[in-house]
Amino acid sequence: MSFPEKCKDAILAGDIDLSQNLAQKAVAENLDINAAIDAFSLAIREAGNLFEEGEFFLPELMRSAEAMKAAMTVFDPIISEGKEDRSLGRVVIGTIEGDIHDIGKTLVASMLSAEGFDVHDLGADVPISTFIDTALEVNADIICISALLTTTMVGQKRLIDTLKEKNLRDKFKILIGGAPVSKKWTEEIGADGTAENAISAVKLARNLVGL
Ligand code: B12
């Protein structure tokens, strides 16, 4: 069985130990970390598809997510290696209020941090005021807002609107992301960009700070 197939089996079975072992094996065998993360990401999306089709119920989806998070705990320290140079810019990142999905956001945060950004990760279910207060406090260059639900995406718009109301919009670059976010939505709400995955997010963030 190929590595992606094994990941898929482990994630769909919600097998925490097996997922973590697979991640450890990938590291021990020097597999490409990004490819390994992609394999796990595809697997968790498959769990989401099964949930949508009614094949999986919430407890199963939650077990799959726990298995995914267990694998990510193995990759996170490796992604974050070489953090010394933190001069690229300051980033405030979080998942918008009402939304507890944090796997993708954490991946983006880790990769930005590994690249050399000074990252302030606010976690998930973050109120708009916390995003803005922290961005002002740390004098952020970029605010990154993640949303995985069509119902919480509107929070990305609300955050931008609030910045406009406070005359703060031009103070920060704004990146938005998450599975339901499109280019069209990005333009519609006046964000500075979106990316489908963490690697593109890093490229975009570099562009935004003029690198
Ligand atoms: C795992 C998961 C969960 C886990 C979350 C665990 C956790 N701690 O994160 C649990 C089981 C808790 C969960 C709960 C729910 N979920 Co859920 N979940 C998922 C699932 C399967 C995978 C998400 C994920 O982790 N993907 C892997 C990561 C690596 O990818 P990613 O998140 O897309 O992130 C990448 C990019 O989007 C991008 N990115 C992400 N953020 C950002 C930010 C910026 C700035 C940038 C530039 C890029 C970027 O880079 C990331 C890395 O490559 C998705 C299915 C899907 N296709 O997304 C459903 C999904 C998002 N969930 C869904 C639903 C409905 C729910 C619930 C409402 C279910 C319920 N009935 O209670 C609750 C929501 C509770 C809440 N209030 O938030 C629906 C949403 C449907 C919709 N249209 O809104 C989906 C699409 C499943 C489905 N097909 O029905 N879920």
Q: What pLDDT is recorded for position 113?
A: 87
The pLDDT tens digits of the residues spanning 118-176 come to 999 999 999 999 999 999 999 999 999 999 999 999 999 999 999 999 999 999 999 99
3-class DSSP state for residue 50? helix
Q: What is the whole-number distance in angstroms between the Cα of residue 210 and the centre of ligand 1? A: 31
178 ligand 1 Cβ < 6 A: yes
Residue 84, domain member (yes or no): no
141 ligand 1 Cβ < 6 A: no
103 ligand 1 Cβ < 6 A: yes
186 ligand 1 Cβ < 6 A: no
Residue 66, domain member (yes or no): yes
Atom 42, ligand 1: residue with shortest CA distance: 177
Phi, psi of 92 (to 5 degrees): -110, 125
Order the strands of the 118-121 sheet from edge to edge.
118-121, 90-95, 142-146, 173-177, 193-194
The span from the CA of 8 to the CA of 29, in Å, is: 19
Residue 144: closest CA among 80, 74, 70, 195: 195
Q: Which atom of ligand 1 is nearest to the CA of 104?
A: 34
* Whether 42 contacts 9, CB under 8 Å: no
Residue 18, domain member (yes or no): yes
The span from the CA of 78 to the CA of 73, in Å, is: 9
Q: Is the pLDDT of residue 81 over 90?
A: no
Q: Which pLDDT band holds residue 181 (cuts at 50, 70, 90)?
A: very high
Residue 144, domain member (yes or no): yes
Same domain for 53 and 151, yes or no, is no
DSSP code string of 123-191: -SSB-HHHHHHHHHHTT-SEEEEE--STTTTHHHHHHHHHHHHTT-GGGSEEEEESTT--HHHHHHHT-
Domains of the chain: total: 2
Q: Which atom of ligand 1 is nearest to the CA of 93?
A: 45
The pLDDT tens digits of the residues spanning 86-127 come to 679 999 999 999 999 999 999 999 889 878 899 999 999 999
Q: Which atom of ligand 1 is nearest to the CA of 200?
A: 47
pTM, entire model? 0.92
* Whether 127 contacts 158, CB under 8 Å: no
Atom 51, ligand 1: residue with shortest CA distance: 104
Q: What is the whole-number distance in angstroms between the Cα of residue 207 and the centre of ligand 1? A: 26
Same domain for 112 and 74, yes or no, is no
Q: Provide the residue range defining the domain that includes 159.
A: 90-208
* Whether 174 contacts 192, CB under 8 Å: yes
Same domain for 39 and 67, yes or no, is yes
Rounded average pLDDT over 187-195: 98
For residue 75, give Cα distances in angstroms to 68, 69, 98, 120. Answer: 11, 10, 27, 19
